[in-house]
Amino acid sequence: MSGLSAVPATVVRGGDKRYPALSRGFNQRWVAAPEYVRLVRTPEEARAALAEAVGEEPADPARTRITVRSGGHCYEDFVCGEDVRVILDVSPMCGVSYDESMKAYCVEAGATNWHVYGRLYPVSGKALPGGACFSVGLGGHVPAGGFGLLSRQHGLTVDYLYAVEVAVADEDGNVRLVVARRDDRDSELCGLWWAHTGGGGGNFGLVTRFWFRGLPQPPGQVLLAALAWDWSDFTKDEFAALVTAFGEYFRDHQNPSTAAGKLFAMLKLNHVSNGQIGLLAQVDADDPDGPRAMAEFIAAVDGRIGPAATKMRSVMGEHFVHLDVPRAMPWLTAARALGSGGGNRCGKYKSAYLRKPFTVEQIDAMWAYLGNERYTDYANRQALIQVDSYGGAVNRPPHPTAARQRDSILKVQYQVYWAEQDGGEDAHIAWIRDAYKATFAATGGVPVAGGETTDGCYIGYPDADLGDRRWNESGQSWETLYYKDAYAKLQEVKRRWDPCNVFRHAQSIRP
C-alpha cells in the first residue's frame, strides 16, 4: 500500500487494456460497459470518488447506476450490469489491523477472505467465521451475514460486527463518511450499523471499513474428510436414504458446545453426468470428541446406504479435495485446502434455508432433476444441489441482527456453471430453474419464509428469478424471502441514509 500511496487515483476507461477485466466480476455472465472504473485506496478517496460520481451527468441516459465492487462475487448483474455508469472498485483497500481506539480489529472493505485468514489469524490467533471461497470480498460478504465452515461453532460474521464506516450521499448529493456502532447512542447511526448485519450489500452507501470485537479463535487443528459415491451404484431409495440421513444428523446435532454440534459438512448432489455424489466434512480436532464425532457422522450418513464410499474424482461446484481418509491438519491449512476461486465461468445460483430435513416430495424432485428422470439428455458435470449444514451457534445470536433466518438446520445452494464459449446458457438456466421450482412445488416454486420446513432465501446468493411470477408463485415477494420481518426497518434505514436511491439494483432495498 505504501508504495502506491503517492500514485494518483486510478481511473480506467474504455480503450485501456485493463478495462475488459475490470468491467466484469466472478460470474462471467455479467459484463458492464461503464464510463469508467475508479479504484480507491483509502476511505477519503472512496468518499471523494463517490461525490464526484454523484455530481456527474451521465453521458448515456441508459447507463445511470453507480455500483461498488469488493471481491466481484455478486451472482447477478447488480454490480456489472448493462445500466451501470460507474464502478467504484475498493479492492486496493484491503488492510487488516487492530484499532486501539475502537478496541476492535479493523478490516477494510476490499479485503477478501484470503486476506483476513492470511493476515488476521497469524498475528492474532483470531478469525472471522466467514466463507471458504478465498476471493470473496468482505464488502459484500459481511452485509449479507457472513457464513462459513466455522459458523456452526462460532455463529455468523455479523455476530461480531461492532462498527462500520460508510460513505453516504444526502438529498443534496453531498457525500460524507459516517461511522456507525452497535452501541451508538444515535438511533439512526445504530440503525445503519444494524442494516449491515444482514441487509445485503449495495443498498445504503459505499462501505469502507468494518470493525469486529470478540472474535473467536479457530481450532488449532481440524479433521477434514472428503469422500464420494458413484452415481451408478444408486437407486432412488439409496439416494433418499443418503439425503435423509444428512438432514436428520444436523437436525439432531445442534448444540455448538459439543463436537457434533461444531461439525460442518457439505453434501454435493451433482448431476448424474458428473459421475459422483460428494461429501466434505470438517470438525474441531482440538475437541477430544472431534475424531469420534467425525466417525459417527460418516457412519450415520454412509452407513445408511449400500453404495461404497470412494475418493472424489472430479471438481464438484467450487471444490475438489482428494483425501484417502479423514486427515488432521492445522485450521489455516484446511482453509487453504478448501479455498477456491471458481475459475472463469458463467453461473446461475439459487438458495434455500431448511428448518427440517427434506420432505419425501422434495427428495423425489431432486432425484428426478439431477438427471435420473428429468433432464436425462442434459450433460453438465458442474450442475449440482449443494446442501450445507447450518444452525448451531448461528441459531444462538448474541444480539439482534438483520440476518433473520436463525432457526434453520440446512442451507441449500443450487449451482450451475458453464464456460462462456459453450453457448448453452439457455439449457443451463432452464435446468436450475426447473429443478428448483420442482423441489419447492408445494410452496409455489420457492422455499417460503416462515414455512413449516423452509425459511426463505439467502441474500448472499441473490436470485433475480424470485421477483418473476413465472418462477415464484408463492405469494411472497423477494423482499420477504430474503429479509422476512426485517424489511420494513431496512426501508427506514434506506430512506434516512440513501434518500436519493443512489445505490440501487433489481433487488435493492426500496426507499
Please tell me the pTM assigned to this model: 0.95
pLDDT digits (tens, 9 = 90+) for 228-268: 999 999 999 999 999 999 999 999 999 999 999 999 999 99
> What confidence tier does 48 reach under pLDDT thresholds 50, 70, 90?
very high
Query: Which CATH architecture does the domain made up of 9-89 adopt?
Result: 2-Layer Sandwich (3.30)
| Beta carbons of 151 and 458 less than 8 angstroms apart | no
Residue 323 pLDDT > 90: no
CA distance 117 to 104: 16
| Burial (CB count within 10 angstroms: exposed 0-12, middle 13-18, buried 19+), residue 61 | exposed
Name the pLDDT band for 342 (thresholds 50, 70, 90): low
Cβ-contact 109, 70 below 8 angstroms: yes
Return the CATH class of domain 221-485: alpha beta
For residue 375, the one-letter residue type is Y
pLDDT score of 343 more than 70: no
Q: Find the helix or strand (DSSP H, E) in which 248 lies.
A: helix 236-252
For residue range 87-134, what is the model confidence (pLDDT) as tens digits? Answer: 999 999 999 999 999 999 999 999 999 999 999 999 999 999 998 888
The mean of the pLDDT values for the chain is: 95
Which one-letter DSSP state was computed for residue 238?
A: H
What stretch of H or E contains 242? Answer: helix 236-252
Q: What is the pLDDT of residues 468-481, one digit of tens each?
A: 999 999 999 999 99
Cell 461444531 found at: 262
Cα–Cα dist 211/103, whole Å = 9
In Å, what is the CA distance from 369 to each residue of 376, 437, 444? Answer: 8, 10, 17
Q: Which helix (H) or strand (E) holds 387?
A: strand 383-389
Helices (H), 283-420: 290-302, 331-338, 360-367
pLDDT tens digit sequence for 192-219: 999 999 999 999 999 999 999 999 999 9
Task: Report the CATH architecture of 96-217+488-497.
Answer: 2-Layer Sandwich (3.30)
Q: Read off the pLDDT of residues 124-161 as tens digits, 9 standing for 90 and up.
A: 999 999 988 888 999 999 999 999 999 999 999 999 99
pLDDT tens for 378-401 read: 999 999 999 999 999 999 999 999
Share of the chain above pLDDT 90, in %: 89
Domain boundaries, the chain: 9-89, 96-217+488-497, 221-485
